[in-house]
Amino acid sequence: MPKIAVLPGDGIGKEIMPEAIKVLKAVLAMHVSKFEFTEYLIGGIAIDQAGKALPDNTLKACKEADAVLLGAIGGPKWDNLPAKERPELGALLPLRKELSLYANIRPVKMITSLVSSSTLKEEVVKNVDLVVIRELTGGIYFGEKGRHNDPPAAYDVLLYTENEIRRIVKLGFETARGRKKKLCSVDKANVLESSRFWREIAVDMAKEYPDVELTHMYVDNAAMQLVRYPGQFDVIVTENMFGDILTDLASMLCGSIGMLASSSMNGKKGLYEPAHGSAPDIAGQNKANPLATILSAAMMLRYTFDLDQEAQRIEKAVMKVLDQGFRTADLAKPTEKVTGTKEMGDAVVAAL
């Protein structure tokens, strides 16, 4: 029996996760294998109830599960804790490291019925169809950190090994080979030695993929180009911090970060989560958009369980409800009726 570790987390995570599970159970109702969904604590609620952001039993369950579904973690309630004890540093980064989830994959594709929801002009975003692949277990987030007192100073070390770069760039090439055969490697090689190292390895690896066009772009220019002409991109591969920033920027091309699904992978094992945060300002109000979580669940079916047909059914159901005019608050225009979190989940199940 396939096991799914379900981690609702904090804020709106507790509202969006039940909708994704509801959709998964509907699409898997006739499947020969019965999936087992078990909830565990993570993040701020885990700090409150278990004393730390990533309890031992949660980590153990995630290691034993076939896949992990995560809602969202964090919030201002825990901001005064020491950095390493906060939900993000105390749970999310260690979980990625312990599961060796080295690649974050975020597809960004414009849905025709949402073109008007984007803050950019229709002619700029109407043909957006790209994937951002972000290295997830190296770089400045995991490097040595510290402070000096005389004089007061702080430092964060950005470190990448050759193996870490090669495995993520390989995934970039492989992904591009299955799409439009265009890979853009984003770095800051005009300033950073780590980026020059990254670029050297990417150029060397390109010899193995003569059918894929490799280009390079500085991260500041990439941010500008994503807004100026996003249609030029097919697959973007980049390091941890640059990817963290660019994926949030790219999410707004399609109107709302509430639509952006993501997967963090190590081979077949994956952690699937929406790209947005815990949004404590709207938590408990039935306002959150569950579609990114539902689409993340579809990615789980495709990448971990090879259930592409079921994944497509979910994706088509999401397109259908949007075509029918269902809009959560983040997508709705002032004149449009707003659909609640639970009602959006119900609509997707009905569309299935």
* Active-site residue (options: 66, 109, 218, 244): 244
- Per CATH, 1-109+256-352 and 119-254 having the same topology is answered yes
Q: What is the mean pLDDT of residues 54-77?
A: 96
pLDDT at 307: 94
Give pLDDT, residue 349: 98
* Distance from chain centroid for Cα 80: 26
> What pLDDT sits at residue 88?
87
pLDDT (average), residues 203-209? 98
Q: What is the pLDDT of residues 302-334, one digit of tens each?
A: 999 999 999 999 999 999 999 999 999 988 888
Mean pLDDT of 70-98: 91
pLDDT at 333: 82
Matching CATH number, 119-254, of 3.40.50.150, 1.10.260.40, 3.40.718.10, 3.40.50.720: 3.40.718.10
Average pLDDT on 147-171 reads 96
Residue-level length of the chain: 352
- Domain boundary assignment for the chain: 1-109+256-352, 119-254
Would residue 25 show up in a list of annotated catalytic residues for this protein?
Answer: no
**Residue 114: band (very low, low, confident or very high) from pLDDT cuts 50, 70, 90:** confident
Q: What is the pLDDT of residue 313?
A: 96
Phi-psi region of 286 (alpha: psi -120 to 50; beta: other; left: phi over 0): left
For the segment 173-185, the average pLDDT, to the nearest whole number, is 96
Mean of the pLDDT values across residues 149-164? 96
346 carries an active-site annotation: no
Question: What is the structure's pLDDT at 334?
Answer: 84
Please check the confidence at residue 254 and state whether its pLDDT lies above 90. no
3-state secondary structure the chain: CCEEEEEEECCCHHHHHHHHHHHHHHHCCCCCCCCEEEECCCCHHHHHHHCCCCCHHHHHHHHHCCEEEEEECCCHHHCCCCHHHCHHHHHHHHHHHHCCCCEEEEEEECCHHHHHHCCCCHHHHCCCEEEEEEECCCCCCCCCEEEEECCEEEEECCCCCHHHHHHHHHHHHHHHHCCCCEEEEEECCCCCHHHHHHHHHHHHHHCCCCCCEEEEEEHHHHHHHHHHCHHHCCEEEECHHHHHHHHHHHHHHHCCHHHCEEEEEECCEEEEEECCCCCCCCCCCCCCCCHHHHHHHHHHHHHCCCCHHHHHHHHHHHHHHHHCCCCCCCCCCCCCCCCCHHHHHHHHHHHC
Comparing 143-147, 261-265, 318-322, 333-337, the range with the smallest average pLDDT is: 333-337
Residue 116: both structure tokens together: 């008007």
Q: Taking residues 158-173, what's their average pLDDT?
A: 97
Average pLDDT of the chain is: 94
Asked whether residue 2 carries a pLDDT value surpassing 80, the answer given is yes
pTM of the shown model: 0.86
- Among 129, 180, 182, 248, which one carries the catalytic annotation? 248
What is the mean pLDDT of the segment spanning 46-51?
96
* pLDDT above 90 for 75: yes
Instruction: Give percent of the chain with pLDDT exceeding 70.
Output: 100
Mean pLDDT along residues 126-148: 93
The mean per-residue pLDDT over the stretch 52-61 comes to: 97
Q: Looking at domain 1-109+256-352, which CATH architecture does it have?
A: 3-Layer(aba) Sandwich (3.40)
Q: Does residue 48 register a pLDDT over 80?
A: yes
Banded model confidence at residue 149, pLDDT cuts 50, 70, 90 = very high
141 is catalytic: yes
211 is an active site residue = no
The residue from 220, 281, 306, 308 that is catalytic is 220
Q: What pLDDT is attached to residue 306?
A: 92
Taking alpha carbons only, the member of 158, 223, 217 closest to residue 190 is 217
Phi, psi of 333, rounded to the nearest 5 degrees: -80, 165
Catalytic choice (188, 209, 303, 330): 188
Q: What is the pLDDT of residue 205?
A: 98
Flag whether pLDDT at 89 surpasses 90.
no
Average confidence (pLDDT) over 56-78: 96
pLDDT at 260: 86
Does the annotation mark 234 as catalytic? no
Catalytic residue (one of 141, 160, 209, 303): 141
